[in-house]
Chain A
């Protein structure tokens, strides 16, 4: 049973640290091009920030922000973005997941960025959903 922690030090520090952890996770996803990082790593850090919130404030706080239906929507949204970019390349005339034909500047780099965002959303939602299910109801 994950209940609210009584110590005021933990509650204050988690409340201060959580925005920085989330911004760092988004930085790791976006800078997958030129520094170590990418979709999986950033998604796990983003999921871990919500798990930290759940461990120190109780699962009710996390349930207020992410209900179960919203988490299931997010898992499907990530896979949908990934396959959607692939099908977009197919409609425009090239092979499946062939980013060279997208009509934007630096097509292969931007296609990779979109795909990594999809992967990050799915990994975050699955981490949070597994933790949410395994904690006692």
Chain B
């Protein structure tokens, strides 16, 4: 069974390397990731909010609703961990 897993991993890696030939170069300032929304954030972050740190301003102000959902996810993970590992009370055999 082991050689089958190696071949499968190799084929997936080769397909991914072939798919990476379409991606932009590393460090390109004109890549599509850096030209649609983020210039608007970078240029206007100091005049709309008075906060110099762009990452915190985007996280807590422009996209604050996503951070609320993410805090709920953390809360749910903590609750799930408590619920899985609770000790059960011994049931009486009446």
Contact present between A and B (CB < 8 A): yes
Interface residue ranges, A against B (CB under 8 Å): 32-39, 68, 72, 75-76, 78-79, 82-83, 86, 96-97, 99, 106, 108-109, 111-112, 115-116, 118-119, 122-123, 125-126, 129-130, 133-134, 137
Contact A76 B75 (CB under 8 A): yes
Contact B49 A108 (CB under 8 A): yes
Q: Does B87 contact A (CB under 8 A)?
A: yes
Closest beta carbon of chain B to A121's beta carbon, Å: 10
Contact A134 B75 (CB under 8 A): no
Q: Does B53 contact A (CB under 8 A)?
A: yes
Interface residues of B in 23-61 (CB under 8 A from A): 48-53, 55-57, 59-61
| Chain A residues, CB < 8 A from B53 | 32-38
Contact B65 A108 (CB under 8 A): no
Count A-B pairs with CB separation below 8 Å.
87
Contact A33 B59 (CB under 8 A): no
| Chain A residues, CB < 8 A from B56 | 32-33, 37-38, 112, 116
- Ordered by A's residue number, 7 sampled pairs between the chains whose C-beta atoms are within 8 Å are A33-B56, A38-B59, A75-B75, A86-B68, A96-B65, A112-B61, A115-B67
Q: How far is the CA of A115 from the CA of B65 in the complex (A)?
A: 11
Contact A108 B51 (CB under 8 A): yes
Contact A97 B64 (CB under 8 A): yes
Known: A36-B53, A97-B64, A130-B81. A78 touches B59 (CB 8 A): no
Contact A79 B60 (CB under 8 A): no
Contact B77 A115 (CB under 8 A): no
Tell which of A39, A68, A115 has the most Cβ of chain B within 10 Å.
A115
| Chain B residues, CB < 8 A from A129 | 78, 81-82
